[in-house]
């Protein structure tokens, strides 16, 4: 996995947010709040003692509850805070990304907020920096 091959631009990502979810804001940082407020309520599941777990253990708890095949856009704090673009990867490589994130970016994958979106399936997965995660299925919602 050569990480530089997987970067997408913020412009591409923002355009897809608008096109697929009718998101009016250019910036992705408030997207989950927008979904919760304007589209669909959802609940977070809290992971007890998540800070004592390594990335792979957290991944096994929360990520494989759903099938992450197809193209995913992934944003971690390391990508967002340092001005890098989101990663556009095939879900097949998600586990590998989680395992190698620290080597690529100098910090764990679950070191803050993580947002993953399948625009194709209209599925969102959010990990909140307080150790909670949500799987948000918007496939049955029509967007204008």
pLDDT in tens, 117-144: 999 998 888 899 999 998 888 888 877 6
pLDDT for residue 144: 61
Extended strands (E) in 43-113? 45-46, 71-76, 87-90
Share of the chain above pLDDT 70, in %: 95
pLDDT for residue 66: 62
Mean pLDDT of the region 81-104: 89
pLDDT beyond 80 at 63? no
Is residue 91 classed as helix, strand or coil in its secondary structure?
Answer: helix
- What are the residues whose beta carbons fall under 8 Å from the beta carbon of 15, sequence distance 6 or more? none
Looking at per-residue pLDDT, the higher value among 50 and 142 belongs to 50
Rounded (10°) angle between helices 55-62 and 94-105: 150
pTM of the model: 0.89
Cβ neighbours, 10 Å, residue 118: 22
Nearest to 81 by CA among 45, 117, 44, 106: 106
Mean pLDDT of the region 111-115: 90
pLDDT beyond 60 at 65? no
């Amino acid at each position: 996995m050569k990480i530089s091959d997987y970067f997408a631009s913020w412009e591409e990502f923002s355009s897809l947010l608008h096109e697929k979810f009718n998101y009016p804001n250019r910036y992705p940082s408030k997207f989950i709040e927008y979904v919760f407020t304007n589209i669909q309520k959802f609940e977070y599941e809290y992971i007890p003692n998540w800070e004592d777990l390594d990335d792979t253990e957290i991944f096994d708890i929360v990520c494989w509850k759903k099938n992450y095949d197809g193209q995913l856009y992934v944003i971690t704090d390391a990508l967002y805070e340092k001005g890098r673009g989101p990663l556009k990867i095939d879900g097949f490589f998600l586990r590998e990304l989680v395992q190698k994130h620290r080597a690529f970016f100098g910090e764990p994958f679950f070191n803050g907020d993580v947002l993953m979106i399948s625009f194709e399936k209209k599925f969102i997965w959010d990990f909140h920096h307080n150790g909670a995660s949500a799987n948000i299925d918007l496939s049955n919602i029509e967007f204008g």
